[in-house]
Chains A and B, each alone.
Chain A
Amino acid sequence: MKYVDEFRAPELISKAGEEIRRLADPKHHYRIMEVCGGHTHAIYRFGLKDLLPENVELIHGPGCPVCVLPMGRIDDGLSLTANPEFIFAAFGDMMRVPGTHGSPLEYKARGMDVRIVYSPADALKLARLNPQKHVVFFAIGFETTAPSTALTIIRARAEGLPNFSVFCNHVTIIPAIRAILDSPDMRLDGFVGPGHVSTVIGCRPYEWIAKDQGKPVVVSGFEPLDILQSIVMLLRQLRGGQAIVENQYKRVVPWEGNPAALRAMAEVFELRPYFEWRGLGFISQSALKIRSAYGEWDSEQRFTVPGVRVTDPKAAQCGEVLKGVLKPSQCKLFGRECTPEQPVGALMVSSEGSCAAHYNYSQHRPITIDAAASL
């Protein structure tokens, strides 16, 4: 497949692996955070950990939108399905995320009208096709998905569509990174920066991480070679005592981001004064809400939602895992009470969640397998 296979070429991958080994100072233990859940998934999916020396450790960051959503927001969104005139539409990732009284999928099994959509535009289409019903789109995601939600809301207003609204849970990445850097139990050497988010916001918003915190950032693509090359670039900076923002994903990410997408977001959204993140707590100015000019398409402004706050199960250590303080397998519930089939925490649900990735791809580690042995 073009634009994919080139970044999975085995000889280049093994060269990058060698370069990492050459650059990594054996006396130093490197802790590099990949911010984005897409990277976490790729690292497990392609077995990239096996290619890194032991002293280069990857810490999984908070960039999984499903994982950082507190349970109360899920309950609030699902509360709207009590009305039989409502259709609840969400991405497939959301479907197995547990709320207090079950996941969207369980609501569906009980007869509520819950639909999987692949984009907010699909939810809008549902509204057009079902004029007698009201479609609530449960929007999640960082700056990656926020522009398409914004454009969909602009479209709904242009069409004067009355039976569509968005339950907005969009969050922004920079405050989350700041919260992690402020966390006293965190020691990181650098960041593999989020690729998809950066296609929208560009690379400039990360400059403070390099300048003020002295940590290098390399914005990275999602193929195996992208991720390894980004680690090479980080190690080169660390070796040279440098801390700058670099863009490994130039084929997709413009330095200045996507002005049209940013305009659409600014048109529809404003910052919430604060928003609760699972595991990270309340973070100020870290989430988006729909401006009152578009209030008619905002489920929260149009309907009454209970505003539920749910504390996570005490034993679940999602917060520590999300911040990278604990590894997934160090959580007391991992693989026992909490599995991808019956998840307690959201990190076990989304394929981008570090617990699900760890469970699915390497739960039984360590296994000694001679991978090179011919099959």
Chain B
Amino acid sequence: MATTAPKIKFREPQIEMAHGAGGKASRRLVEGLFAPLLFAGAQGPLSDAAHIQINGTRIAMTTDSFVVSPLRFPGGSIGELAINGTVNDLAVSGARAEAIVVTFVLEAGLPTDILEAEVRAMGQAAEAAGVRIAGGDTKVVEHGKADRMYITTTGVGRLLPGVAISPESVQPGDKILLSGAIGDHGITILLARGELDIEAEIRSDTRSVFPLVQSIVRAAGGGIRWMRDPTRGGVATSLNELARDCGRGIVLSEEKIPVRDAVRGACELLGLDPLHIANEGQFLAVVSADQADAALEALRRAPGGAEAVIIGEVRDEPAGSVLVTTLYGGSRLVDMLVGDPLPRIC
């Protein structure tokens, strides 16, 4: 094996909020600094969960930190997110979460009842998702050195049989499935902060997507090419990453993308694109054309999958980009999220 000095391309002088927003800046940081120094030997594009081999058994492994503010919001809380987020990262890599370890970073002065409520929420979410919490660690920092509490969860999972997903396997003609309405989580957090005088009936979509993933794997296992949960940066960012990683074009039909009125309204007011807003209980799947209908059917029949739709397809052009066709036959490109309109949403 030839050893060459790692090539660090990240040259920005300081870390900005955008580097944690999951969009372009995050990708520059990961690909330009972390990857060359930490996993220089890694082959292929980076994804949310790693598949590693131990004693001949392949397992999936992932980790995620949660810094959401406020800690509780309509439809969920940081504790619930911390479990579901990691379960979902494993699920969309084609794995069932088996065990999770937890790290708490707590700010001195945090009221015990707030902590207890979150630990309970984690326990309930873990039970609902059928995952064991196998251990953990606690650190406390001085008052003012953290914002109440941060949670990191690391999960390992067992690979579902008959699933082999990778961006390279994505072919022109493949269909793009979306599990339900987008933008609920990001807009809920934004409104829950109370900085905007807008009230809307809207709840975070946080949930385990594993049952939905399992249903399409059963219906169309071999036809599933790629999956991703579109969290920070939204559907646009996830699909742009796919487009770049597979070198194909993604063409979406705007009218097919389900967006609730409250989310649409808030986005119109704030000048945001729902395609850039975070989700915590949805996933995207690319499925071969011949299996797409079966996959959609299975998703729709599964509990919580009634709103699933095919929102577009893979084409040769525009290679490396995501194009949205509007209702009127016009079209526009949709890029990855730039900057960070909504910091600390998960």
Most A-side CB within 10 Å, residue of B14, B261, B265, B335: B335
**Which of B251, B261, B271 is the one whose CB lies under 8 Å from A1?**
B261
Closest residue of A by beta carbon distance from B24: A341
The reply on B166 being an interface residue by CB < 8 A is no
User: Chain A residues near B270 (CB, 8 Å)?
Assistant: 118
Q: Which residues of A contact B268 (CB under 8 A)?
A: 1, 4
Could you tell me how many residues of chain A have their Cβ less than 8 Å away from some Cβ of chain B? 41
Within the complex, which residue of A51, A110, A122, A364 is in contact with B330, where a contact is CB–CB below 8 Å?
A51
* B338–A51 CB distance below 8 A: no
| Interchain CB contact under 8 A, B313 and A109 | no
B317 adjacent to A371 (CB under 8 Å): no
Question: CA of A269 to CA of B338 in the docked complex: distance in angstroms?
Answer: 36
- Segment touching B, from A6-14, A54-62, A175-183, A235-243: A6-14
Inter-subunit contact A47/B328 (CB<8 Å): yes
Q: Which of B125-183 contact A (CB under 8 A)?
A: none
Scan B241-273; emit 1 where CB is below 8 A from any A CB, else 0: 000000000011100100001001100101100
**B17 and A105 within 8 A (CB):** yes
A8 and B333 in contact (CB under 8 A), knowing A1-B264, A109-B14, A367-B317? no
Are A351 and B271 neighbours in the complex by a CB distance under 8 Å?
Answer: yes
A1-B264, A109-B17 given; A224·B317 CB < 8 A: no
Chain A contacts for B326, CB-based, 8 A? 46-47
Chain A CB within 8 A of B187 CB: no
Chain A nearest Cβ from B147, distance in angstroms: 16
CA distance A340 to B337 in the complex (A): 10
- Name the one of A50, A92, A359 contacting B329, with C-beta atoms under 8 angstroms: A50
Contacts A1-B265, A369-B318 known; A14 to B15 CB distance under 8 Å? no
Nearest CB of chain B from residue A56's CB, rounded to whole Å: 14
Known: A13-B327, A369-B323, A375-B312. A47 touches B332 (CB 8 A): yes
Closest to B269 in A: A118
Pick from B327, B328, B331, B333: contact of A17, CB below 8 A. B328
What CA separation (Å) do A8 and B255 show in the bound complex?
Answer: 11
Q: With A and B bound together, what is the CA distance between A14 and B330 in angstroms?
A: 10
Report the bound CA distance from A375 to B255 in whole Å.
11
Q: Kindly state whether residue B75 has any CB partner on chain A within 8 Å.
A: no
- A49 close to chain B: CB less than 8 A: yes
CB-contact partner of A109 in B16, B24, B334, under 8 A: B16
How many chain B residues touch A (CB < 8 A): the figure is 41
Which B residues touch A44, using CB under 8 A? Answer: 332
Min Cβ gap A304→B in Å is 29
B14 with A51: CB separation less than 8 A: no
B279 within 8 A of A: no
Across-interface contacts of B330 in A (CB, < 8 A): 46-51, 371
A330 interface residue (CB < 8 Å to B): no
B321 at the interface (CB under 8 A from A): yes
> What mask results when residues 70 to 114 of chain A are scored 1 for a CB within 8 Å of chain B, else 0?
000000000000000000000010011000000001100110000
Q: Nearest chain B CB to A90's CB is how many angstroms away? A: 14
Q: Of B17, B264, B331, which one neighbours A47 at CB under 8 angstroms?
A: B331
**Given A1-B265, A341-B339, does the pair A371, B332 have CB atoms closer than 8 Å?**
no
| A361 x B332 contact (CB < 8 A) | yes
- How far, in angstroms, from A13 to B310 measured CA to CA in the complex? 25
Query: Which residues of B are at the interface with A, using a C-beta cutoff of 8 A?
Result: 14-18, 24-25, 195-196, 251-253, 256, 261, 264-265, 268, 270-271, 310-313, 317-318, 321, 323, 325-335, 338-339, 341
**What are 13 inter-chain pairs, A to B, with CB distance below 8 A?**
A1-B261, A1-B264, A10-B328, A13-B327, A41-B271, A46-B326, A47-B329, A105-B339, A106-B16, A110-B14, A341-B24, A369-B331, A375-B310
Beyond A14-B328, A109-B16, A367-B317, list 8 extra A-B contacts (CB 8 Å).
A17-B328, A46-B332, A96-B339, A109-B15, A364-B333, A368-B317, A369-B251, A369-B323
Q: Give chain A's interface residues, CB within 8 Å of chain B.
A: 1, 4, 8, 10, 13-14, 17, 41, 44-51, 92, 95-96, 105-106, 109-110, 118, 122, 224, 340-341, 351, 359-364, 367-369, 371-372, 375
